[in-house]
Structure 1
């Protein structure tokens, strides 16, 4: 794990501010299921039911400043630093949220359950775990993991937003399965839900999958059932479109910075060659 000194150095090289929100409303709902278990459909449903701000993986992906704080939280979790995993540090990111779903929050489910004991808890899941593995391999792992082209890794070193997003991938996703999703992803899934079941013993919660739709969700939350169909979103093709939208500006800046660095290096090399030639 990078040391605090290294983290501070990287923040100097890639200057982005740590968010500093403060809680301005109760956090009412914790949806603690993993990504690709109907999290975006659930996000849309919660918004339709009147929850005004629902944190989701896309919220994290679109905010490099959030990435910095998730890295800090991930380091604390990895180190067993329970003192740091407190309401103030989570609220730096989630302070204006009525509800949360998806990764990164799901990776900190146990800590969030402790910090927000009054929140209603939804355990969103998929029946077919193998289908879940395939879905992740065809989406998250392609956009952020082992399936990325090498050029994207290179680009991340030339733009702060891309850099911290790339680095945060380990702390909010890959470390839970040791960096090898194809081999260990299914075990992580089973462990996540098994541990949640033990953690939630005695605490009221809803086990829910997207196919269950409005009725059990609304009954649990005490909301009126909408008459229109339950939201359906974030299929793999939609996932990539959303990712590309918020990466476009950062990638453009990275390309500009790469060209600038290339021009500077070319000038240095040309100058050195000229100097050697003139000394002959």
Structure 2
């Protein structure tokens, strides 16, 4: 695939996994941190290299995708928009204080039990996320006011940078309506996916681990309604 038709500019923990599954249901193939782990064609180190140089062969990185949300791709949304100027940009948002609390319980540390043997792909992805997310986007997490200020700055940057007709400011709790109108696609009959609550985060990591250990890579995986049909938090 590629070039990207949709670029996600929202930080992680703003409903990006719900959006990812929703876009998949609408016919896109959407990139996300979780898919990076489960897709054997993906190389976490390519994103880490791009972080240091701010350049990359984006067509190659996203060869199998036409949409990308969540970190690591959200780190590069300005570069991606320059590469794909006709793409639509979806900025997922939520209450800044709720976002800050959710991050602290989940992705800030990626709570992988040290007594468990984790697949190499997960370890490589975690190492990349440490550079781009923990030591990058979230490096000032201990200063709540500064971190929330950066969260808001990202929103304002998108508003100032992306043409109005290419930007959707979206709360996944709003469901299909705003998203489908923005994309010019009829609303599906299925419920809008709501997933990855913070209290489910560890269980989801374990599910990803079990999927890899059982050889269930992305191409062989069904839509996981039993896991994702829960409220995003």
Q: TM-score range by the shorter chain?
A: 0.7 to 0.9
Runs of 4+ in 1 over 4 A off after TM superposition: 248-251
TM-aligned CA distance change 1:45 to 1:162, over 3 Å: closer
Alignment of 1:1-280 (within 5 A): 24-51=1-28, 53-62=29-38, 66-77=43-54, 84-85=55-56, 89-126=57-94, 128-143=95-110, 151=114, 160-161=120-121, 163-177=123-137, 179-183=139-143, 184-201=146-163, 204-247=166-209
> Quick one: distance in 1 between partners of 2:199 and 2:31?
21
SS of the counterpart of 1:225?
A: coil
SS of the counterpart of 1:143?
A: coil
1:54 CA drift (Å): 0.7
| Contact 1:29–1:122 (CA under 8 A) maintained in structure 2 | yes
> Quick one: distance in 1 between partners of 2:166 and 2:126?
36
1:171 CA drift (Å): 2.9
> Quick one: distance in 2 between partners of 1:224 and 1:43?
17
| Contact 1:35–1:103 (CA under 8 A) maintained in structure 2 | yes
Larger relative contact order (C-alpha < 8 A, sep ≥ 6)? 2
1:177 CA drift (Å): 4.2
1:73 CA drift (Å): 0.6
| Contact 2:8–2:68 (CA under 8 A) maintained in structure 1 | yes
State the number of aligned residues. Answer: 210
> Quick one: distance in 2 between partners of 1:174 and 1:47?
27
| Contact 2:14–2:92 (CA under 8 A) maintained in structure 1 | yes
1:70 CA drift (Å): 0.8
Which structure has the bigger radius of gyration? 1
Q: Which runs of 5+ in 2 are unaligned?
A: 214-233
More helix by share: 1
> Quick one: distance in 2 between partners of 1:130 and 1:43?
23
1:105 CA drift (Å): 0.8
| Contact 2:13–2:102 (CA under 8 A) maintained in structure 1 | yes
Report the RMSD for the aligned CA atoms in angstroms. Answer: 2.7
> Quick one: distance in 2 between partners of 1:33 and 1:118?
18
SS of the counterpart of 1:207?
A: strand
SS of the counterpart of 2:156?
A: helix
Q: Which runs of 5+ in 1 are unaligned?
A: 1-23, 78-83, 252-280
